[in-house]
Amino acid sequence: MPNFAANLSLLFTELDFLDRFACARKAGFDAVEFLFPYAFEPRQIAARLQRYDLELALFNLPAGDWAAGERGIACDPRRTGEFREGVQLAIDYALELGVPRLHCLAGRRPPRVGVERAHATYVENLRHAAAECRAHGLELLIEPINDRDIPGYFLTGTGQAAAVIAECGADNLFLQYDIYHMQRMEGELAGTIRQYLPLIRHIQLADVPGRHQPGTGEINFPYLFRLLDELGYQGRVGCEYVPEGATVESFAWLEEERARSHARGIDSN
């Protein structure tokens, strides 16, 4: 059974953020992830992780003005200085929180910035961020995101992400594969995961349509979970979905997967 992590930015949102860690542990998770930690002091989050014996799998570099709709600044040539300051801030938090990897959002291509210039900026910024992360033993991830939910997003395909990783030439730069986004953009989930597994260090999930929990849409998650087991995937699978109904009630799929794994003699978290 895959090693699931609760995404605390989307799950348990009926509670204040710092109260969600206890709920994740109570629901049987031993790891969490979230979008950003920067609204809190690192010690506040570290205390929750320690108290509830939770691993922190992942969070994002600063991504501009999220409330205003920005979804990353890595491809914006006018904001390189801001990007580099964000890299340092993220690393400072990572070192205090013990997280092994960070995700860099590419962002939307800015108006009046051509594709070639945006690409060159993105690659330059990734090389810088990867080098800074490597100096502290951290991995850096990039994630293709569908451009229906985020129109104009710069990184939208698995092949595109793999080409960027190859161009950057950084040995700590890897792929974050989001099942929801790539079902919307590409389909062929199983074949794509097989092809790019050597690059994948983190997976996230939600069903299509609606971005709700597994079992509410068209994706055959039991098949994909078996595939990940067969392929020997060792990374985390982040539950980054919007619960349909109360968060706790949305975990019926997880209990079913635990039961299936137990029947197959596979340990579950």
Give the residue numbers annotated as catalytic, written as ranges: 143, 240
Identify the CA nearest to 234 among candidates 266, 263, 203, 189. 203
How many angstroms separate the Cα of 139 from the Cα of each of 42, 60, 135, 186?
A: 19, 12, 10, 26
CA angle 228, 229, 233 (to 5 degrees): 60
Q: Are 61 and 85 in contact (CB under 8 A)?
A: no
Burial 196-217 (b: 16+ CB within 10 A, else e): bbebbbbbbbbbbeebbbbbbb
Q: Are 64 and 39 in contact (CB under 8 A)?
A: no
Peptide bond connecting 209 to the previous residue in cis, omega within 30 degrees of 0: yes
How far apart (Å, rounded) are the C-alpha atoms in residues 16 and 142? 28
How far apart (Å, rounded) are the C-alpha atoms in residues 21 and 28? 11
Identify the CA nearest to 217 among candidates 203, 206, 228, 227. 206
Identify the CA nearest to 58 among candidates 238, 262, 239, 243. 238
Give residue for tokens 């049987």: 28
